[in-house]
Amino acid sequence: MSQDWERSYDFKQQDLEQLSELVEPVFGERRVVSAQPLSAGNINTNYKIEVEDEPEPFVLRLYERGATVCRQERELYELVHGRVPVPELLYADPDSSQPYSLSRWVEGDGLGVALSKAGAAQADELGYSVGATLARIGSFQFERPGFFGPGLQIYQPFGTTPQFFLGFIENCLFQKGADARLGPALADRLWQFVRDQIGYIEAIAHERRLVHSDYNATNLLMREGKVVAVLDWEWSHAGTPLTDIAILLRFSDRLPAAFEPAFLRGYAEEGGLLPPEWRRTYRLLDLMNLCEFLTRPDRGDTRNQDCLNLIKHTIENWANL
- The total number of residues shown for the chain amounts to 321
Report residue 6's pLDDT band, with 50, 70 and 90 as the boundaries: low
- Strands 146-148, 237-239: parallel, antiparallel or unpaired by DSSP? antiparallel
For residue 9, pLDDT beyond 70: no
Tally of helices (H runs) and strands (E runs) in the chain: 11, 12
For residue 164, pLDDT beyond 80: yes
Report residue 11's pLDDT band, with 50, 70 and 90 as the boundaries: confident
Report residue 12's pLDDT band, with 50, 70 and 90 as the boundaries: confident
**pLDDT at site 301:** 81
Report residue 221's pLDDT band, with 50, 70 and 90 as the boundaries: very high
Choose between 30 and 1: higher pLDDT: 30
Whether residue 187 contacts residue 218, with contact meaning beta carbons closer than 8 Å, is answered with no
For residue 264, pLDDT beyond 80: yes
Whether residue 103 contacts residue 87, with contact meaning beta carbons closer than 8 Å, is answered with yes
Burial class (CB in 10 A: 0-12, 13-18, 19+), 65: middle
CA distance 247 to 111: 13
**pLDDT at site 7:** 57
What is the pTM (predicted TM-score) of this model?
A: 0.93
Query: pLDDT tens digit string along 166-208?
Result: 999 999 999 999 999 999 999 999 999 999 999 999 999 999 9
For residue 5, pLDDT beyond 60: no
φ/ψ region of 224 (left if φ > 0, alpha if ψ in -120 to 50, else beta) reads left
For residue 81, pLDDT beyond 80: yes
Report, as an integer, the average pLDDT of 142-165: 94
